[in-house]
Structure 1
Amino acid sequence: MTTILIVDDDINILQLVNIHLSEAGFKVFQAKDGTEALGILNREVCDLAVVDVMMPFMDGYALTRVIRKKYDIPVILLTAKNQIEDKEIGYKSGTDDYLVKPFEPKELNFRIEALLRRYDKQSDESIIRLGSTTINKKSYEVQIGDRTILLPLKEFELLYFLALNPMQVFSRDHLIEHIWGVDYEGDERTVDVHVKRLRERFSKLTDDFHIKTVRGVGYSLEAIRR
Structure 2
Amino acid sequence: MTASDRATATAAAATRPVRVLLADDQPMLRSGLRMALTGAEGLAVVGEAGDGVEAVDLARRLLPDVVVMDVRLPRLDGLAATRAISGSGLPVRVLILTALDADEQVLAAVAAGAAGYLCKDVPPAELVSAIRAVAGGGSVVAPLILARLLARLADALPAPAAMSAAPALRALTEREREVFTHIAKGHSNAEIARALTVSETTVKTHVGHLLTKLGLRDRVQAVVLAYEAGLVRPGR
Q: Quick check: which one's strand share is greater?
A: 1
- Partners of 2:81 and 2:30 in 1: how far apart? 17
Query: How far apart in 2 are the matches of 1:92 and 1:42?
Result: 21
Give secondary structure in 2 for the equivalent of 1:77: strand
The structure 1 residue matched to 2:103, chosen from 67, 77, 84, is: 84
Name the residue aligned to 1:96: 115
1:116 to 123, 135, 152: 135
Displacement after TM superposition at 1:72 (Å) = 2.5
Aligned to 1:149: none
| 1:43 equivalenced with 2:61 (yes/no) | yes
- Structure 1 distance, partners of 2:51, 2:19, is 18
1:7 aligned onto 2:23: yes
Compare CA radii of gyration and give the structure with the larger one. Answer: 1
Structure 2: gaps of 5 or more residues:
1-16, 139-200, 203-211, 213-236
Structure (1/2) with the larger helix percentage:
2
Corresponding residue number in structure 2 for 1:68: 86
- How much does 1:85 deviate? 1.3
Percent identity over paired residues: 30
Aligned residues: 122
**Contact 2:19 2:44 (C-alpha < 8 Å) held by counterparts:** yes
SS of the equivalent of 1:76 reads strand
The code of the aligned residue for 1:106 comes to: A
Please report how far the alpha carbon of residue 118 of structure 1 lies from its aligned counterpart in structure 2 after TM superposition.
Answer: 2.5
| Residue type at the aligned position of 1:76 | L
Q: Distance in 2 between matches of 1:64 and 1:93?
A: 6
Matches within 5 A, 1:45-194: 45-70=63-88, 71-118=90-137
Preserved CA contact (<8 Å) 2:21 2:49: yes
Deviation at 1:106, TM superposition (A): 1.4
Partner of 2:44: 27
Q: Which has the higher contact order (CA 8 A, sep 6+)?
A: 2
Report which stretch shifted further, 64-73 or 32-41: 32-41
Task: Report how far residue 102 of structure 1 moved.
Answer: 2.1
2:3 corresponds in structure 1 to none
Distance (whole Å) between structure 2 residues aligned to residue 13 and residue 103 of structure 1: 13
Displacement of 1:42 after TM fit?
2.8
State the Cα RMSD in Å: 2.1
Deviation at 1:92, TM superposition (A): 0.9
Whether contact under 8 Å (2:82, 2:114) holds in the other structure is yes
SS at match of 2:87: helix
2:137 alignment partner, SS class: helix
Aligned to 2:34: 18
* Residue-by-residue CA offset, 1:16-42 (whole Å, 9 max, x unaligned): 110111111422111111122222223
3-state SS of paired residue (1:13): helix
Unaligned stretches of 5+ residues in structure 1:
120-163, 166-177, 179-226
How many Å separate the matches in 2 of 1:116 and 1:45?
12
Corresponding residue for residue 155 of structure 2 = none
Shift of 1:68: 0.3
